[in-house]
Amino acid sequence: MEERFSKDEQEQRRLEVYLRPVIPASQMYTVSDRRNAIRPYVLSIQIDLKHNRPWRCEFCTKFARESVWMTSEWLQLKTPSMVSYVHLVCNSEIGECAQTLSAINSEMQSLAGAPPRPLPKLSRNGTKYPMAASCVNCNNEAKESRKHLKQCNRCKITRSCSTDCQKADWARHKVFCKTVKEVKWSTEILNHDGHDERNPGRWIWRCWIHLWKDSLIAKRSGLARVTAVARSNYDAVNQNGMHFKSSKYGDIPGWRPDRLCKSVGSAADTPYDYVILTTKALPDIIKTPTILAPLLTAPYIEKYPQPAYVILQNGLNVEVDLYHAIKALAQGEPKIIGTSLYIGTNLLAPDVVEHNGFDRPTLGIYRHNDFTTTTNSPEETVILEGIASILAKGGSTVSVVPEIQRKKFSKNFWNVAFSSLTSLTGYTLPSVFRPPPSDPSIQYEPFVAPKTAHLINEFTIPTLKAIMEELVSLARALGFPDSEDGLPSSTVESILNNTASIHVSSESTHAKLCEWRRSVGSPFLVLKPYTDSSLSFRIRLSEQWQANFEALSFVYYDALFGGYPDR
- Cβ(527)–Cβ(561) under 8 Å? no
Mean pLDDT of 276-305: 88
Mean pLDDT of 456-469: 90
Q: Tell which wins on pLDDT, 125 or 532.
A: 125
pLDDT at 302: 93
* Distance, CA of 335 to CA of 317 (rounded, Å): 15
Question: How far is residue 221 from each of residues 167, 224, 308, measured CA to CA in Å?
Answer: 37, 7, 19
Quickly state the pLDDT bin for 329 (edges 50, 70, 90).
very high
| Lowest-pLDDT choice from 151-160, 420-429, 537-546 | 537-546
Radius of gyration (Cα) for the chain, nearest Å? 27
Quickly state the pLDDT bin for 190 (edges 50, 70, 90).
very low
Task: Give the Cα-Cα-Cα angle 105, 107, 112 (nearest 5 degrees).
Answer: 100
- pLDDT, the chain, mean: 78
In three-state secondary structure terms, 207 is: strand
**Would you say residue 71 has pLDDT above 50?**
yes
pLDDT at 554: 54
Q: In the chain, how long is the greatest CA-to-CA distance?
A: 92
Instruction: Give per-residue pLDDT as tens, 131-164.
Output: 999 999 999 998 888 888 998 988 888 999 999 9
299 upstream amide cis, omega within 30 of 0: yes
In order of their start, the domains of the chain are: 2-190 (no CATH), 196-403 (3.40.50.720), 407-561 (1.10.1040.10)
Mean pLDDT of 303-329: 92
Decide the pairing of beta strands 205-209 and 224-229.
parallel
Mean pLDDT of 63-92: 81
Give, as one character, the DSSP assignment of residue 56.
B
Quickly state the pLDDT bin for 126 (edges 50, 70, 90).
low
pLDDT at 198: 34
**Would you say residue 121 has pLDDT above 80?**
no
Q: Tell which wins on pLDDT, 308 or 214.
A: 308
Estimate the crossing angle of helix 212-221 against helix 378-393, to 10 degrees: 90
β-strand partners of 245: 251, 354
- Cβ(345)–Cβ(355) under 8 Å? yes
- Cβ(89)–Cβ(59) under 8 Å? yes
Decide the pairing of beta strands 196-198 and 180-190.
antiparallel
**Would you say residue 11 has pLDDT above 70?**
no
- Cβ(201)–Cβ(382) under 8 Å? yes
* Distance, CA of 425 to CA of 336 (rounded, Å): 36
- At 15, give phi and psi (nearest 5°): -125, 130
Nearest to 307 by CA among 341, 270, 279, 278: 270
Mean pLDDT of 459-487: 86
In three-state secondary structure terms, 321 is: helix
524 exposure class (CB count in 10 Å sphere: 0-12, 13-18, 19+): buried
**Would you say residue 428 has pLDDT above 50?**
yes
- Cβ(246)–Cβ(212) under 8 Å? no
List the end-to-end C-alpha distance of the chain, in Å, as a whole number.
Answer: 67
- Cβ(71)–Cβ(82) under 8 Å? yes
Task: Give the Cα-Cα-Cα angle 69, 131, 124 (nearest 5 degrees).
Answer: 65
pLDDT at 116: 59
pLDDT at 426: 74
* Distance, CA of 58 to CA of 3 (rounded, Å): 5
Decide the pairing of beta strands 274-277 and 242-246.
unpaired
Nearest to 510 by CA among 396, 419, 436, 417: 419
Mean pLDDT of 238-263: 91
Task: Give the Cα-Cα-Cα angle 288, 292, 295 (nearest 5 degrees).
Answer: 145
Q: Tell which wins on pLDDT, 90 or 478.
A: 90
Nearest to 376 by CA among 385, 276, 324: 385
**Would you say residue 265 has pLDDT above 70?**
yes
The residue type at 269? D
* Distance, CA of 64 to CA of 52 (rounded, Å): 12
Nearest to 281 by CA among 207, 341, 356: 341
* Distance, CA of 160 to CA of 423 (rounded, Å): 68
**Would you say residue 565 has pLDDT above 70?**
no
Mean pLDDT of 282-309: 90
| Lowest-pLDDT choice from 103-112, 416-425, 470-479 | 103-112
pLDDT at 239: 94
pLDDT at 516: 44
β-strand partners of 251: 245
The residue type at 130? P
β-strand partners of 244: 252, 353
Decide the pairing of beta strands 399-400 and 352-365.
parallel
pLDDT at 276: 93
Q: pTM of the full predicted structure?
A: 0.53
Mean pLDDT of 452-458: 91
**Would you say residue 213 has pLDDT above 50?**
yes
